[in-house]
Amino acid sequence: MGRAGATRPAAFAIPTWHDHLVDSDPAWVNLFTQERARLLCSLGPLVRGLEHVGSTAVPDLAARPSIDILLGIKSGTRTKHLDRALQAVGYTRIDGVRPRERVYARVVPHNRLVYELHVVIFENLQWRRYLAVREYLQTEADEVSRYGQLKWSAAYWGGSFYDDVKSMFFSQVMRRVRGSR
């Protein structure tokens, strides 16, 4: 599904409509807010931080119909406990997607939406990178426009090319963010 090296359990499949870009939708913020409340209620003390990240967190940016959520947990959190708690609210763990983080997904077919939960240690480097990219894009309209154009062009070719283009863009953004400090 475009993510090189990703393996998914046999019982789990991201729908094909998930791989298509759509125009920005102001409803994404509300969908995140609702899911955030649901996760906070279900996970309680496991949560150290919960943030809306990814393209759906950036106004006017085209995105896959996927609400990316960054879940910060305490170092040493028992992963079996986390797995069970997330499974109880409809999330499935997806192995091999990203190094240094656990990824879970919940598909909502009637909304043609996927929630992707990226679990990292709260306030570690990975946590700070996600937030830095989001904050940069939320304040740089020219970069949002450029990134949107790149995404639409890369989406035409799809698969790993799309992911490679996004990775290169994020590397450039991180260099700019580090250079501005």
Domain membership of residue 86 (yes or no) is: yes
Domain membership of residue 10 (yes or no) is: no
pLDDT recorded at residue 11 = 47
Domain carrying residue 57: 16-179
**Residue type at position 160:** S
Cα–Cα dist 85/88, whole Å: 5
Specify the CATH number for the domain of residue 127.
Answer: 3.30.460.10
Report the candidate in 18, 20, 42 with the shortest Cα–Cα distance to residue 108. Answer: 18
Q: Which residues pair with 103 in a beta bridge?
A: 94, 118
**Residue 36 CB coordination number (10 Å):** 17
pLDDT recorded at residue 33 = 97
Rounded to two decimals, the pTM is 0.86
pLDDT recorded at residue 9 = 43
pLDDT recorded at residue 8 = 42
Domain membership of residue 5 (yes or no) is: no
Q: Which residues pair with 105 in a beta bridge?
A: 92, 116
Domain membership of residue 68 (yes or no) is: yes
- The pLDDT averaged over each successive group of 10 residues in the chain (181 residues) is 43 58 94 96 94 97 94 91 94 80 85 90 95 95 95 86 90 87 63
Domain membership of residue 7 (yes or no) is: no
The total domain count for the chain is: 1
